[in-house]
Amino acid sequence: MRKRNKLLPLGVTISLIATALVSSGLLLAAGGEGNLISVKVTFSPKLDGSGDDAAWRNAPELKAQAKNGPEISLRSIYTSDSLYMLISWGDETESVNKNMWIYEGTKWDHLKEQRIYEAKPTNSGEDRLALNWPINDSIKGFAEKGCLLICHDSGRFAKRESRMATNGPTEFADQWHWKAARTNPIRYSDDKWMDHKVLSNAHEPNLKKRREAAQHGDAKGEGSLNYSDNKTKDGKPKFVHNVETTDSYFLKKDDATPIDYSNATFKKGDTIPGYILARPRGSRGDIDAVGVWKDGRWTLEIGRKLVTGDKAHDVQFDDFKNTYYFGIAVFGNDGSNVHTRPLDPIALTFK
């Protein structure tokens, strides 16, 4: 039975219990083998989140056990111009309601969901997966220690302010950040990059902005498209679907129309998506990604050109003799900056 986190009328107690896959470091498959072998194929797989395409048949599987989390299955193939990855992991619930609006009868608020690691319900979140790739092998020691080198709990930062950042001005990471609510509905993974930028409390009093100071988005390109908050300055939804839809979980930019509150009527329990979705036309949107949740498991298919035009912010798979190390993280319905802590990197090689 499909366990999508359903939207309940306000009169019903909302108890959407999500399996938290947070703070889960990777334990590599038995024997310490952390090698993901990408196999050459003559045709590209159809990216539909099924993993059933014949192109995957001869790709060896790497299994990695996440600490306090699920076992993650990875496969990879490549063509003459593109790299593809098939990633699958267990998650009891499909969480796609991030910042969903719900009408309480007299005002709008965000849908609340209970997470097993939090004392009280908080704003609804989403399932996510992230990959971190050192650009040009610039992160010293990454091949041995992986993402532990760019995860900081103390030292340069205030106590208990965990942040992701590299360790010097010449170190950079390419981040592929797939988001079940904000990018998956329009078939891409958010392409970002990381440097060593640090902001002190004095320079930036906002905790969220301090934590994300080293995180940057690739160029959005023509139209500066990307997902954006669906909210007005006075704290209520700004846009709604311009036509009746059978799937109200997502609001695409082309389907959105401003709400005329002078004429609009809503009933208690009505919901409106928290984001307006649009795929960037620049480097930020150059990773194809389609994930499908079924029977307690996400299956995600990813595709990207081996070599891109953004050499400063993208890892370039331009040498099949090279080994490309990366870290991986899964998040189960997590809306905060809690992130996984890989114990070992994974090594991608080409065959």
Burial 155-168 (b: 16+ CB within 10 A, else e): eebeeeeebbbbee
Q: Does residue 252 carry a pLDDT above 60?
A: yes
Which helix (H) or strand (E) segment holds residue 263: the answer is none
Query: What is the rounded average pLDDT of the residues 101-111?
Result: 95
Q: What is the pLDDT of residues 9-52, one digit of tens each?
A: 333 222 222 223 333 344 454 334 579 999 999 999 999 999 99
Q: Does residue 150 carry a pLDDT above 70?
A: yes
Q: Does residue 104 carry a pLDDT above 80?
A: yes
Q: pLDDT band at residue 274, thresholds of 50, 70 and 90?
A: very high
Of 50-54, 133-137, 200-204, 249-253, the least confident: 200-204
pLDDT at residue 66 in the model: 79
pLDDT at residue 317 in the model: 98
Four-CA torsion 231, 236, 237, 238, nearest 10 degrees: -60
Query: 126 or 5: whose pLDDT is higher?
Result: 126
pLDDT at residue 310 in the model: 98
pLDDT at residue 6 in the model: 41
Q: What is the pLDDT of residues 169-179, one digit of tens each?
A: 999 999 999 99
Q: pLDDT band at residue 336, thresholds of 50, 70 and 90?
A: low
Percent of the chain exceeding pLDDT 70 equals 83
User: Domain limits of the chain?
Assistant: 26-345
Provide the CATH number for the domain formed by 26-345 in this structure.
2.60.40.1190
Q: Does residue 7 carry a pLDDT above 60?
A: no
Four-CA torsion 147, 148, 150, 155, nearest 10 degrees: 170
Residues near 176 by Cβ (< 8 Å), separated by ≥ 6?
Answer: 130, 131, 133, 189, 190, 191, 287, 289, 302, 304
Token duo for residue 29: 């498959």
Q: Does residue 133 carry a pLDDT above 80?
A: yes
For 119, counting Cβ atoms within 10 Å of its Cβ (0-12 exposed, 13-18 middle, 19+ buried), the class is exposed
Query: 14 or 81: whose pLDDT is higher?
Result: 81
pLDDT at residue 249 in the model: 83
Query: 19 or 161: whose pLDDT is higher?
Result: 161
pLDDT at residue 245 in the model: 55
CB 50 within 8 A of CB 292: yes
Largest interatomic CA distance in the chain: 65
Of 6-20, 86-100, 310-324, the least confident: 6-20
Q: Which stretches within the chain are classed as H helix?
A: 142-145, 207-211
Residue that has been written with the tokens 């298919």 in this structure: 301
Query: What is the rounded average pLDDT of the residues 215-220?
Result: 97
For 199, counting Cβ atoms within 10 Å of its Cβ (0-12 exposed, 13-18 middle, 19+ buried), the class is middle
Beta strands 26-28 and 62-66 are antiparallel
Mean pLDDT score of the chain, rounded to an integer? Answer: 86
**Strand, helix or coil at 125?**
coil
